[in-house]
């Protein structure tokens, strides 16, 4: 509302708002910080989501109540929406896309990935702090699993994603294929234009297909359990410092068993120069295998529901062990 001149003596604020056709309540509104109770629940949801990404709001509420957290489903749905997390499941009418959304196919199915800069991927995750939270985006090379760039933001707009993409391309060239989910940040005109201008083939995950971008999902789990959950960042600047230090450790010092205990940087730079041996190519998971794994998860969920008989001692423990 910078168009409103509060110190204008000849034109009251009410008249200015009337001319601009805006409500005065919009001018006077000041956003409230997230409550301590909401932050506590969001931290709990983040940890639970890493363990059970297939839990929807109803099941989250049930598990919360079993753990002594009294909360209703409406609140859980709102917090999950704020955090940008959504349960992994097959949604109805997934073939019906938004008319303004350009759908790109998933190009990695059955593809053998055997070199750096063949496939890059990107994703966004929620990062809790002592007070408040931020969002983190990272661009990763699929083969070496090296994090090529990253950005922290206090909002879920597309600008920090575009900045991370631009930095990765300026420092490391361009990939042949770039894979993301169908989030609005990655389907924005600015983000797609940055890829199309460099003739990069665009690949997008299918809805409810958690294995389509599995390596960066695994990165989030390692980052949160090894760094974020162990600390309580006091500010976005402190979060940037802590996350940056861990990602440097991840790239340069943390050995990966899949790469013969070499670091992502060694694999990324070594294969590019032809002197790294015994690095296995990666074969992406075919659709049939993903369907089998999803069926296995669904069967375990159903089994945990059937196994719990109300009124009998030990029901809670039985349900937990089977779910």
pLDDT digit string, tens, across residues 167-217: 999 999 999 999 998 888 898 889 999 999 999 999 988 655 556 678 898
Is the separation of the CB atoms in 232 and 131 below 8 Å? no
Quote the CA–CA distance of 231 and 276 in Å, as a whole number. 36
Helix (H, G, I), strand (E, B) or coil at 168: helix
More confident residue, 322 or 254: 254
At 225-259, the pLDDT tens digits run: 999 999 989 999 999 999 999 999 999 999 998 88
Q: Which helix (H) or strand (E) holds 83?
A: helix 73-83
In angstroms, the Cα distances linking 15 to 2, 28, 175, 203 are 15, 15, 55, 51
Q: Is 106 left (phi over 0), alpha (psi -120 to 50) or beta?
A: beta
pLDDT at 134: 94
Poorest-confidence range of 62-71, 222-231, 279-288? Answer: 279-288
Is residue 316's pLDDT more than 70? no
Q: Name the token pair of 177.
A: 């294929």
At 84-120, the pLDDT tens digits run: 888 866 554 433 444 566 778 889 888 899 899 999 9
pLDDT at 137: 96
pLDDT at 34: 84
Which phi and psi (to 5°) does residue 202 adopt?
-100, 130
Sign of CA dihedral 238, 240, 241, 246: positive
Residues in the chain: 323
Quote the CA–CA distance of 71 and 132 in Å, as a whole number. 20
- Average pLDDT of the segment spanning 298-311: 40
Residue with tokens 């997230």: 34
Poorest-confidence range of 64-68, 186-190, 309-313? Answer: 309-313
């Amino acid at each position: 509302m910078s168009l409103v001149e509060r110190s204008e003596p000849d034109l009251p604020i009410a008249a200015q708002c009337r001319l601009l056709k805006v409500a005065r309540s919009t001018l006077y509104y000041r956003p409230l910080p997230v409550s301590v109770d909401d932050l506590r629940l969001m931290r709990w949801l983040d940890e639970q989501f890493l363990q059970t990404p297939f839990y929807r709001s109803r099941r989250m509420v049930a598990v919360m109540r079993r753990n002594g957290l009294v909360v209703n489903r409406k609140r859980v749905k709102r917090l999950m929406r704020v955090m940008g997390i959504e349960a992994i499941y097959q949604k109805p009418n997934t073939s019906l896309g938004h008319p303004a959304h350009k759908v790109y196919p998933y190009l990695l199915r059955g593809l053998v990935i055997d070199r750096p800069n063949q496939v890059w991927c990107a994703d966004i995750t929620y990062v809790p702090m002592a007070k408040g939270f931020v969002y983190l985006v990272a661009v990763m090379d699929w083969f070496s699993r090296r994090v090529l760039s990253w950005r922290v933001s206090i909002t879920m707009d597309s600008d920090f994603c575009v900045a991370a993409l631009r930095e990765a391309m300026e420092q490391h060239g361009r990939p042949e294929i770039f894979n993301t989910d169908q989030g609005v940040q990655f389907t924005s005109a600015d983000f797609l234009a940055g890829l199309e201008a460099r003739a990069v083939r665009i690949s997008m995950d299918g809805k409810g297909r958690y294995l389509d971008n599995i390596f960066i999902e695994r990165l989030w789990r390692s980052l949160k359990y090894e760094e974020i959950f162990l600390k309580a960042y006091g500010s976005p600047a402190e979060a940037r410092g802590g996350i940056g230090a861990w990602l440097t450790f991840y790239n340069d010092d943390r050995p990966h068993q899949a790469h013969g205990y070499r670091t992502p940087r060694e694999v990324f730079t070594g294969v590019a120069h032809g002197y790294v041996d015994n690095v296995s190519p990666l074969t992406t998971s075919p659709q049939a295998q993903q369907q089998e794994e999803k069926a296995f998860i669904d069967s375990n969920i159903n089994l945990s529901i059937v196994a719990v008989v109300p009124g009998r001692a030990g029901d809670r423990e039985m349900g937990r062990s089977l779910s």
